[in-house]
């Protein structure tokens, strides 16, 4: 499965991969929807690698729905992680302008270097967002939301 990529492979980028469910076989909403989802951020010459990141299927689903709406009519899509791994905003402005910015942290480390990493990724266009929606749909098909909240 392709990872979600915003930015350029050799330049500034945000990459979210999904390697499977954290608790395979669980069908409870709160336990069964965690994904092994490492996050890589390269911005302003700094690489941040969150190897142990865990996002939820419902978080990625909401992000995909918001991103789809942004492509149709502009606005902003947000990915907000329950465990605060990432707070991401993708804003689609008139024309082809797309702003990608966020904050990443490792919630399992009390004194993580100098604190949360704030980032901004330039050079993303609407075509790349359409590809991001496709990847998010692929992730949802492979790892659908299980259970009820």
Residue 117 has pLDDT above 80, yes or no: yes
CB-based contact 24:57 (threshold 8 Å): no
pLDDT at 104: 93
Q: pLDDT class for 27, splitting at 50, 70, 90?
A: very high
Is the per-residue pLDDT at 52 higher than 70?
yes
pLDDT score of 95: 74
Q: Is the pLDDT confidence value at 112 over 70?
A: no
Q: How far apart are CA 55 and CA 85, in angstroms?
A: 8
Work out the average pLDDT over 48-73.
95
Whole-number Å distance between alpha carbons of 46 and 112: 15
126 C-beta neighbours (distance < 10 Å), count: 14
Higher pLDDT, 42 or 125: 42
Output the DSSP codes for 70-121: HHHH-EEEEEE-TTSSEEEEEEE-STT-EEEEEEE--TT-TT-TTSPEEEEE
pTM over 0.75: yes
What residues does each domain of the chain span?
4-142
Find the range with the poorest average confidence among 56-60, 102-106, 133-137.
102-106
Is the distance from CB of 65 to CB of 72 less than 8 angstroms? no
CATH 2.30.31 is the classification of domain 4-142: yes
- pLDDT confidence of residue 111: 58
Read off the pLDDT band of 99 (50, 70, 90).
very high
Residue-averaged pLDDT of the chain: 92
End-to-end CA distance of the chain: 27
The values of phi and psi at residue 98, to 5°, are: -130, 125
Whether the pLDDT of residue 59 is over 70: the answer is: yes
Residue 15, H or E segment: strand 13-16
């Amino acid at each position: 499965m392709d990872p979600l990529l915003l930015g350029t492979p050799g330049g500034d980028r945000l990459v979210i991969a999904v390697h499977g469910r954290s608790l395979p076989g669980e069908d409870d909403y709160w336990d069964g929807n965690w994904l092994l989802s490492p996050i890589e951020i390269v911005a302003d010459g700094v690489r941040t690698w969150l190897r142990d990141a865990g996002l939820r299927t419902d978080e990625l689903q909401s992000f995909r729905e918001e991103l789809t709406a942004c492509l149709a009519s502009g606005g902003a899509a947000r990915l907000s992680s329950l465990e605060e791994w990432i707070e991401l905003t993708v804003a689609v402005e008139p024309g082809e302008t797309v702003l990608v910015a966020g904050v990443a942290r490792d919630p399992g480390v009390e004194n993580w270097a100098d604190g949360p990493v704030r980032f901004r990724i330039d050079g993303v266009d609407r075509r790349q967002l359409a590809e991001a929606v496709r990847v998010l749909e692929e992730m949802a098909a492979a790892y659908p939301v299980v259970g009820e909240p």
